[in-house]
Structure 1
Amino acid sequence: MLLRASGRCYCAFRHSRVGFPSLSRQNSTSVPFSSNVDASLRPRTIFSGIQPTGIPHLGNYLGALSNWVKLQNENPQDKLIFSIVGWHALTLPQNPTELAASRRDMLAVLLAVGLDPKRCVLFHQDSNAMHTELAWILSCITPTGKLRRMTSWKSRLAQSRNANDESEVDESMLNAGLLTYPVLQAADILLYRATHVPVGEDQRQHLELSRDIADSFNRTFRASSRMFPLPTALITPSKRILSLKDPASKMSKSASDPASRILLTDTANQIAAKVRAAVTDSITTGVTYDPVLRPGTSSLLSILAACADEEVDAVASRCTGMSHGELKTEVAAAVDALIAGPRAEFERIRGEVGYLDQVARKGAEAAKELSAQTMVQVRQRVGLN
């Protein structure tokens, strides 16, 4: 999870030659997201995270959060660790008052969608200083060349150049956190010796770096046993949820047009208005699924299929005779039905400040207990104990 744009979830990187000798399939960098995993891979330790900045949108929910809940409900033998990654949020300017409120709201969202703090470790990353301690140690064995090759760094540099209308913007204009945050992300995962990380296909590079860093540490500080497992990607099954205004782009919290996204807190009327204004096409002879020639219409069909947990071809077949107006009405109804429960639960939980603080405190205590075991060994191996 997981983590650059507001509300975006973790993670993923390049295949490393060192695998898990005791796990027959662990040499692979990814496995399908499924509850029917070979028993030889149990128990798994699964980590993911989400930034606290902004209420999650429909794409976050269908692409990540609903899958976290599935992992929780369908895999009782796995250890699940889900974090709100406040330190990552600081790589971009934040209003301190708004960030403090967003941290609490994000915890309320995670509880509202169905995560159970009795079943998983649910905590604020910034409440556990061992994340930054491990990140510093890992940064000392990570070449800057690797970090400069990260797509996230290149895209941030390109955005800076566009904003300044210059093709030769110096890297010194960007803060160091933007370059090194993938190391902190690796520390988030490795601190709990996670074996699996739920990711989307477009997030592989970050997890590959985590694998490379784990491999580098294991080789640099050899001992009778390897310090870190090489985390495997759990590829989430949901298709990308695209912008309602630009079907060539993912739905994003950072997009300038608020009508491009549906938030988990949107009312039925707000959802209907956003869907009615969604981009489609000028073809009036019915609804078909064709992402190339009809991207806007196809995006609506994908949203409807995701909400109904059906194959998009089956949904498209059912909707063939509809007009765009009829399709939008059905999409709006399906989205509202999907998020109505989490929306109501969020409004209830966000007012229970004492309960939220209690969940955060207990989650941080559990996270510290797990990570302390790792850091004792890390400090011993690098010579700090």
Structure 2
Amino acid sequence: MVQWIEMQKTHECIYCVVDLHAITVKQDPAELRQSIRQVTAAYIASGLDPQKSIVFNQSQVAQHAELAWIFNCVARLGWLNRMTQFKEKAGKDRENASVGLYAYPNLMAADILAYQATHVPVGEDQKQHLELARDIAQKFNNDFRDQIIAAGYDDGIFFPQPEPVITGPATRVMSLRDGTRKMSKSEPSDMSRINLMDDVDVIADKIKRAKTDMEPAPPSNLEELKARPEIDNLVGIYAALAGITKEKGLETLISTSNEGPSIFTGLKRALTEVAVEKLGPIRTEVQRLMADPAEIDRILADGSQRARTIAAPVMDKVKDIVGFVRS
């Protein structure tokens, strides 16, 4: 979120609350509605300016779903079979996973290309999906090259190749209980993650109990740190929240390694302090915004209208290129 907010200073930004993606797994309708508003409130509380940027929920902009269907017909099964996140989320029961969960990378491509976006801020774990979006864009351009040129695109390129923007010291935040797994709301244990709405005591307890390792000394360099996933994760989270490099975060670990019964006591104390300092005001502001759901809905409606203004002409051109008849 910190990286996304910074991008407002240099780019025209569109932020989407992905409620269509959310229903690829079972959702309670009342909780989903609450979550849409809470995510929106969290964006705004973190610094997103809904006047300067566009923020909306996906289901209010029909072009996302329309374009996703066309991309379902452009993308190849082999491409989707390589998507590692489906394998992780479906697990051993993949035959009972929804078709939406399998095909949602195509919807993700539509989220990007409906706006002919050129840059997409992502974490390391989403890079594969962005590569798929690039493949879909290229195949669409190749499949309909003659129609695209006839539509006035002399170079035969309708959809651009979006570039990933991967920045900051914590490009992939991992579970507090397992440094090899992504931090996720879908994990059964709430102790695996820090939620924006956690209070001071809960944050402190989760960080105190975060998994480390049994090594007797801290890593001495970034290469050694990388080989110790739980410690690497804590250092990365600390560096991201403190606004410092990972090297500086490691220096904090090394310099505080004798401050308690564990070599990680000092780092965990520093991480707790910066997490409370950064997340506390956001939590308070989210609570204030959630007290007025009608205002959040107004912001989403306004953002959706502005998003449709961009996406609708793109979708109309796609329909013409594909060969649909439209009024």
Change (3 A) 1:273 1:234: same
1:214 is displaced (CA, Å) by 0.8
Checking the alignment, whether the CA contact within 8 Å between 2:257 and 2:267 is kept in structure 1 is no
Is structure 2 residue 236 aligned with structure 1 residue 302?
A: yes
Checking the alignment, whether the CA contact within 8 Å between 1:287 and 1:321 is kept in structure 2 is no
1:150-204 Cα deviation digits (max 9, x unpaired)? 222333454316xxxxxxxxx4x33211221111111111100000111122222
Is structure 2 residue 252 aligned with structure 1 residue 315?
A: yes
2:84 aligns with: 151
My pick for the range that moved more, 332-341 or 284-293, is 284-293
Is structure 2 residue 108 aligned with structure 1 residue 175?
A: no
2:22 aligns with: 89
Q: Describe the SS at the equivalent of 1:264.
A: coil
Q: Which amino acid aligns with 2:175?
A: S
1:82 is displaced (CA, Å) by 0.6
How do residues 356-371 of structure 1 correspond to structure 2 at under 5 angstroms?
Answer: 356-371=296-311
1:148 is displaced (CA, Å) by 2.0
Is structure 2 residue 145 aligned with structure 1 residue 238?
A: no
Checking the alignment, whether the CA contact within 8 Å between 1:268 and 1:336 is kept in structure 2 is yes
Q: Which amino acid aligns with 1:314?
A: E
My pick for the range that moved more, 109-118 or 307-316, is 307-316
Change (3 A) 1:182 1:303: closer
2:290 aligns with: 350
2:185 aligns with: 253
1:275 is displaced (CA, Å) by 1.5
From the two aligned structures, give the one with the greater helix fraction.
2
1:114 to 39, 47, 55: 47
How do residues 277-292 of structure 1 correspond to structure 2 at under 5 angstroms?
Answer: 277-282=209-214, 290-291=224-225
1:216 to 114, 139, 146: 139
2:206 aligns with: 274
1:229 to 142, 148, 160: 160
1:211-264 Cα deviation digits (max 9, x unpaired)? 111111111222221211111111122323332222232322222221121111
Q: Which amino acid aligns with 2:110?
A: A
Q: Describe the SS at the equivalent of 1:291.
A: helix
Q: Which amino acid aligns with 2:2?
A: S
How do residues 62-81 of structure 1 correspond to structure 2 at under 5 angstroms?
Answer: 65-72=1-8, 74-75=9-10, 78-81=11-14
Distance 1:86 1:337 in 2: 30
2:275 to 332, 335, 346: 335
Q: Which amino acid aligns with 1:135?
A: A
- Ranges in structure 2 where 5+ consecutive residues have no aligned partner: none
TM-score (norm: length of structure 1): 0.75
Q: Describe the SS at the equivalent of 1:141.
A: coil
1:286 is displaced (CA, Å) by 7.1
Distance 2:88 2:229 in 1: 24
TM-score (norm: length of structure 2): 0.87
Distance 2:132 2:201 in 1: 43
Checking the alignment, whether the CA contact within 8 Å between 1:241 and 1:250 is kept in structure 2 is yes
Q: Which amino acid aligns with 1:230?
A: Q
1:298 is displaced (CA, Å) by 4.4
Checking the alignment, whether the CA contact within 8 Å between 1:141 and 1:217 is kept in structure 2 is yes
Alignment length, in residue pairs? 308
Checking the alignment, whether the CA contact within 8 Å between 1:305 and 1:315 is kept in structure 2 is no
1:271 is displaced (CA, Å) by 1.0
Distance 2:300 2:27 in 1: 21
Change (3 A) 1:103 1:318: same
Change (3 A) 1:86 1:175: same
Distance 1:184 1:338 in 2: 33
1:137 aligns with: 70
Q: Which amino acid aligns with 2:20?
A: W
Q: Describe the SS at the equivalent of 2:13.
A: strand
Distance 1:176 1:136 in 2: 12
Checking the alignment, whether the CA contact within 8 Å between 2:169 and 2:239 is kept in structure 1 is no
* Aligned alpha-carbon RMSD (Å): 2.1
Checking the alignment, whether the CA contact within 8 Å between 2:169 and 2:236 is kept in structure 1 is no
Q: Describe the SS at the equivalent of 2:16.
A: strand
1:107 is displaced (CA, Å) by 0.9
Checking the alignment, whether the CA contact within 8 Å between 2:176 and 2:191 is kept in structure 1 is yes
Q: Which amino acid aligns with 1:304?
A: Y
1:8-50 Cα deviation digits (max 9, x unpaired)? xxxxxxxxxxxxxxxxxxxxxxxxxxxxxxxxxxxxxxxxxxx
Checking the alignment, whether the CA contact within 8 Å between 1:286 and 1:321 is kept in structure 2 is no
Distance 1:232 1:297 in 2: 30
Change (3 A) 1:67 1:130: same
Q: Which amino acid aligns with 2:26?
A: P
2:58 aligns with: 125
Using the aligned pairs only, state the percent identity.
38
